[in-house]
Amino acid sequence: MSTSTMAWGDHRVLPTWAPAAATGAGVAVGLLAFLAGGVSLILAAIVAAAVTTAALIPWSLAVEGSRRARDRMVTLTVTGAFALAVAPLISLLYTVVSKGLDRFDATLFSESMRNVVGNGGGVQHAIVGTLVITGLATLASVPIGVMTAIYLHEYGRGGKLGRAISFFVDVMTGIPSIVAGLFAYALFALIFGPGVRLGVMGAVALSLLMIPIVVRSTEEMLRVVPHHLREASYGLGVPKWLTIVKVVLPTAFAGIVTGCMLAIARVVGETAPLLITTGAVTSVNANPFGGRMENLAVFAYNQYANPGVPRDPYIARAWAAALTLLLIVMVLNLVARLVSARFGVKQR
Amino acid sequence: MSATSADNPADATRAAIKHHGGVPQRPGDRIFGGAAKGAGIGILVVLAGVAIFLLIEAWPAITAAAEEIPGREGLIDYIAPLAFGTVLAAVLAAIIAVPFAVAIALFVSHYAPRRIAAGLGYVIDLLAAVPSVVYGLWGVSVLAPASRDVNTWLADNLGFLPFFEGPASATGRTMLVAGLVLAVMILPIITAIAREVFSQTPRAHEEAALALGATRWEMVRMAVLPFGRSAVISGSMLGLGRALGETMAVTIILSVSGVVTFNLISSTNPSTIAANIALDFPESSGIAINALIASGLVLFAITLVVNMAARAVISRREAKEGR
């Protein structure tokens, strides 16, 4: 929409390069202040924003009048808001990468924390635990989530039960992760007695968080499967369940995979529910029923929150674990987007 | 989000089939349909189970004598300051995040060049992908030290407000920083919902405004914002719900001392329910565990109310649009 640059009768407007020129001037002054003036990066950014505003708005006010000037002010504001929101992301990525690279070496992945005090050690046990817990949670959530979505979209639409399930799936999305952890603890404490810590408890807590995400994304994908495909199948006398299995699901498959991967990415970094269900341990444990189990997020937290003496190796391991976690999440997100872009049903 | 649409051809087909006495049910249909229905009912059972099991495990604390509860003042006095801290942190986060989310959603839906808008939206979505423990580590090691000068300035110049009473924290591990990090965490949720609805604004409304000579901002104010208002409200409430239950960022950042205060920049801060559970649960035993689970039940109830209110706003909007 380039309406703001149109000339209305004898009204005068700024040249089209005006915003770019003002922004350029602002950034130039900000850079100058940062490089030559020695002010902090945050202050330089504020200077750049102030100079841009001071250059463009009075100019616009003089040439175009107050309505256009206000319009330009809003444009600057929303653009600035976006830039400001990206700043924490950049700062966070920079911090995690620069601090995490310190210990991001081969031993990090080849060793556990068994008998490690101070330097050395690694996250092998935490990675095994993360894989087992997240894997179990996925095995439980994906079938339940996909079947529920099929019920909601193909069977129970408009019915009382369908509406109730749909409502409570929405409610479930809002369950705080720590409450999911408490639920898993409460459930297993009734069976095994208080103080119990098992890998499978973490999987139960995580699947509680995963199921609603899988249901919602699968439902969304079933919705974009064209109806004429279903009707062509019915028309050939194929029963409904075979239509779903052979026509609807394969069509929506890429989208469902994307949804499941995003759900995994969402829970793989969960800390709170695992902190209170799987506990922490220093050696490799791949048995979900065999007592305490470490995982990456809890490892990062514990290394940071309860460091030994000297502190530095613990903090360095915390950042290295955070970097590993961030890489896993980013790769999952990226692959999920690629799958849906490459194989997804073309929408709209 | 609604699952029904009246002009759906499949519904029409189904209605026609029903009219003719229904299709014959094959065993495969019964098994598959039953499994799907079972999964759905299973979800209802699990959700009921969450409430029931939490209540069972919280019960010993509810019925216990006041001096057995940690703090020796009874369960209500134990949970109330935590509930206060939870609401304070979440409301602070929402107050910071909502204006930004609206501005960013407008930027992506109406201001950014078409070709890169989707990519820019994805950048904001990435904020939602970062694990909360990473946010916590970032907040405590980058944002907290950076906030010290700001805290001192606020205490010196705005100290007459109860929020900035001071004395300013020396570590920067304050409620203000916790609220800021929570704001960054809920920003993508609110933005995603607002963006989605802003971009659904009827073209005719936008073009009518522009044709009458409105500037872009006037068009946004007259057509886009009124259309998206309920989405902004419901999105903000969903964000609030998320902030209420967020654990690790608060656990790591906040230096807590169980006080009740609106002072956002001091070194004594109220804890939140979730952070308190994460801090105390691994070391607790006996009735203390039950008391923590009781506080979790309170958190569950608070988030449930907020989320249900948000969903009610959404479904009312969808009903109004006849979707």
Render pLDDT for B130-175 as a digit per residue (tens, 0 to 9): 999 999 999 999 999 888 888 888 888 888 888 887 787 888 888 9
Decide if A79 is inside a domain: yes
Across residues B77-100, what is the average pLDDT?
94
Decide if B9 is inside a domain: no
Do A186 and A224 sit in the same domain of this protein? yes
**Cβ separation A208–B46 shorter than 8 A:** yes
Q: Give the pLDDT confidence score for residue A181 in this predicted structure.
A: 94
Closest Cα of chain B to A29: distance in Å? 23
Decide if A272 is inside a domain: yes
Decide if B4 is inside a domain: no
Q: Out of A90-99, A134-143, A337-346, B223-232, which region has the weakest mean confidence (pLDDT)?
A: A337-346
**Cβ separation B3–A162 shorter than 8 A:** yes
Range of the domain at B77: 64-320
- The pLDDT of residue A10 is above 90: no
Do A83 and A190 sit in the same domain of this protein? no
DSSP B140: I
Q: What three-state secondary structure class fits B172?
A: coil
- Structure confidence at residue B291 as a pLDDT band (50, 70, 90): very high
Look up tokens 């199948």; give the residue. A233
**Cβ separation B131–A169 shorter than 8 A:** no
Decide if B58 is inside a domain: no
Q: Give the pLDDT confidence score for residue A20 in this predicted structure.
A: 87
- Structure confidence at residue A170 as a pLDDT band (50, 70, 90): confident
Decide if A250 is inside a domain: yes
Pairwise CA distance, residues B26 & B38, whole Å? 18
Number of domains chain B is built from:
1
Do A176 and A59 sit in the same domain of this protein? no
Do A139 and A213 sit in the same domain of this protein? yes
Q: What CATH number does the domain containing B206 carry?
A: 1.10.3720.10
Do A84 and A131 sit in the same domain of this protein? no
B16 versus B293: the higher-pLDDT residue is B293
CB-side exposure of B229: number of CA atoms within 13 Å? 6
Do A227 and A266 sit in the same domain of this protein? yes
Maximum alpha-carbon separation in chain B = 80
B101 versus B269: the higher-pLDDT residue is B101
Reported ipTM? 0.88
- The pLDDT of residue A2 is above 80: no
Q: Out of A217-231, B50-64, B143-157, which region has the weakest mean confidence (pLDDT)?
A: B143-157
Do A119 and A78 sit in the same domain of this protein? no
pTM of the model: 0.88
Decide if A1 is inside a domain: no
Q: Are A175 and A208 in contact (CB under 8 A)?
A: yes
Interface of A with B in 262-321 (CB under 8 A): 265-266, 268-272, 275-276, 279-280, 297, 300-301, 304-305, 318-319
Range of the domain at A295: 110-343
Decide if A209 is inside a domain: yes
Decide if B39 is inside a domain: no
Decide if B8 is inside a domain: no
Do A268 and A330 sit in the same domain of this protein? yes
The last residue of one of the domains, among A42, A76, A103, is: A103
Do A85 and A173 sit in the same domain of this protein? no
Q: What three-state secondary structure class fits B131?
A: coil
Token readout for A9 is: 């009768």
- Count of A–B CB contacts within 8 Å? 300
Across residues B87-94, what is the average pLDDT?
95
Interface of A with B in 11-40 (CB under 8 A): none
Across residues B167-194, what is the average pLDDT?
91
Token readout for A40 is: 């902090």
Decide if B186 is inside a domain: yes
Q: What percent of chain B has pLDDT over 90?
A: 48
Q: Out of A56-65, A213-222, B202-211, B293-302, which region has the weakest mean confidence (pLDDT)?
A: A56-65
Contact residues, chain B, for A41 at CB < 8 Å: none
Decide if B284 is inside a domain: yes
CB-count burial class (<10 Å; 0-12, 13-18, 19+) for A120: middle
Closest Cα of chain A to B167: distance in Å? 24
Do A126 and A96 sit in the same domain of this protein? no
State which of A244-253, A306-315, B310-319 shows the largest mean pLDDT: A244-253
**Cβ separation A79–B111 shorter than 8 A:** yes
**Cβ separation B130–A269 shorter than 8 A:** yes
Do A89 and A139 sit in the same domain of this protein? no
Q: Give the pLDDT confidence score for residue B27 in this predicted structure.
A: 83
Dihedral through CA A50, CA A55, CA A56, CA A57, nearest 10? 70
Q: Are B174 and B154 in contact (CB under 8 A)?
A: no
Q: What CATH number does the domain containing A115 carry?
A: 1.10.3720.10
Do A27 and A149 sit in the same domain of this protein? no
Decide if B26 is inside a domain: no
Tell which of B32, B132, B299 to mutate to test the A interface (max A CBs under 10 Å): B32
Number of domains chain A is built from:
2
